Amino acid sequence: MTLAERYNLEAARLLPHMAADLQVDPAITRATEIDEIVFRRGEFLGGMACAILAMIEQKN
């Protein structure tokens, strides 16, 4: 499972009402790329993406 797939699942679990805004291409394998893509959609969303990625990293 790629990092983006784990990220998408976690975003949908934690923030189902915002999942569509936070979703990224499941083929992405780098956290920085996920952060950049979502941050371009808005600073608030970028902050959410960063927090979700940090939670995924803690689980590893």
Average pLDDT of the residues of the chain: 96
Q: How many domains does the chain have?
A: 1
Residue-wise pLDDT tens digits, 20-34: 999 999 999 999 999
Residue-wise pLDDT tens digits, 35-59: 999 999 999 999 999 999 999 999 8
Domain range for 8: 1-56
Instruction: Let me know if 49 is exposed, middle or buried by CB neighbors in 10 A (0-12, 13-18, 19+).
Output: buried
Tell me the pTM.
0.93
Which of these, 45, 20, 49, lies nearest to 34 by C-alpha position? 49
